[in-house]
Amino acid sequence: MAALVLLLSGCGKSDPVPMFVGTYTDKGSDGIYSYSFDQESGKASPQHSVKVTNPSYLTLVSEDSCMYCVSEGEGDNASVSAYHVGMRSGRMLFINRVSAHGDDPCHLMTYTNRLFVANYGSGNISMYDIDRDGSIYDTGEKLSFNNPSYGDSTRQSSSHIHQLVKAPDGHFMFAVDLGGDCIYKYELRPTFKEGTPAKIDLPKGCGPRHIAFTPDARTMYVITELSDEVLVFDYNADNGDVKLRQRVKASDAGARGGSEVEVSPDGKYLYAGVRLKNDGVAIFKIGAGGTLKKVGYQKTGRHPRMFKITPNGKFLLVACRDDNVIQVYKRDAETGLLENTERDIKVSQPSCIAFGDATAW
């Protein structure tokens, strides 16, 4: 056990933040790469990599030093894997792998000792138990949805679950159905409650993709893939109810490629990614009641599938899948605007960025 701790923890200062990157692997990528990211200089130092097929999304449980990732694919090629990770060393040790019980797994969420997986292609959620050693126990449980919208004939002919997210208060889980133009709400307290969830209907044809909350948990934002909008909702933490307050365009290019949404750690700015046309990140100032005012648009490399703000809020990193690079932007805390540092991280088809906690070890 002592050797395992030494292998995983490594040595050295814990000031830099651990960073793990998931990729698509059909053009030569190993799979997952780890880095030590300096939050003061914006420099990433490569550490390790592991071979796994199409780990397009991963999530970290820093306090347990575990990582879970999807292998995006269909049938037997769709799976979920568990790893022990060293938050300082960046080393990743394989634990086990289970079937995703669905096609095209694209997102993961953990809650206590449970793992939830969003399967985009088959429109279902698979649920697992997490054992004490971090391994995934396959319970065979899943929730299936059949709620087509037909706002878009190719992407909305059936349910497509694209994200699972906990509200900041930890009381509710939201499952985003891009194909059904809706969001499902499940209660998590004291345990996950199965059965028919509350359904939040969204504007037809918008294609919701991802969710972000303000730090005070009073506002929920939804980036839409098909209408390239950000939907602003009042959020009631007591019962998980939401009320639409505002709709704003992230892009007027008609890209139909909204990708990611995130709120800065200080709660002052919101960022929304757009792909396929005029690729970039829209910048909004958050005003009274969580309403948004657009203050800028930062063009990026091709296909910004995901971006992530560093824990200290100083940098925003953009995974530009089709340019095989993660661009590092310095964020102005006063204006919210972004400046390219030119400290590009070269990696084949990056799709996901996750920051860990070096103090976990």
Give residue 193's pLDDT. 79
Which tens digit of pLDDT belongs to each residue from 99-121? 999 999 999 999 999 999 999 99
Q: What is the mean pLDDT of residues 49-65?
A: 96
Phi, psi of 200 (to 5 degrees): -105, 110
Q: What is the pLDDT of residue 93?
A: 98
pLDDT digits (tens, 9 = 90+) for 70-85: 999 999 999 999 999 9
Number of Cβ atoms within 10 Å of the Cβ of 135: 16
Out of 36-50, 65-79, 178-192, 209-223, pick the least confident: 178-192
pLDDT tens digits for 297-343? 999 999 999 999 999 999 999 999 999 999 999 999 999 999 999 99
Nearest-angstrom CA–CA distance, 326 and 303: 11
Q: pLDDT exceeding 90 applies to what percent of the chain?
A: 89
What is the average pLDDT value for the chain, to the nearest integer?
94
CA distance 26 to 180: 30
Task: Output the six-digit token pair for 170.
Answer: 């930890």
Q: Is the pLDDT of residue 359 over 60?
A: yes
pLDDT of residue 139 exceeding 90? yes
pLDDT at 45 over 90: yes
Which helix (H) or strand (E) is 119 found in, with range? strand 114-119
State the average pLDDT over residues 82-91: 96
134, 64 contact by CB (below 8 A): yes
pLDDT, greater one: 251 or 5: 251
**pLDDT confidence band for 360 (50 / 70 / 90):** low
Checking if the pLDDT of 8 tops 50, the result is no
Q: Is the pLDDT of residue 55 over 50?
A: yes
Q: Are 212 and 261 in contact (CB under 8 A)?
A: yes
pLDDT tens for each residue of 193-233:
777 789 999 999 999 999 999 999 999 999 999 999 999 99
Q: How far apart are CA 116 and CA 138, in angstroms?
A: 11
Average pLDDT over residues 115-136: 97
Per-residue pLDDT, 361? 56
Say what percent of the chain tops pLDDT 70: 96
Say how far apart CA 147 and CA 160 lie, in whole Å.
9
pLDDT for 19 equals 98
* Res 7 pLDDT > 70: no
> What pLDDT does 1 receive?
43
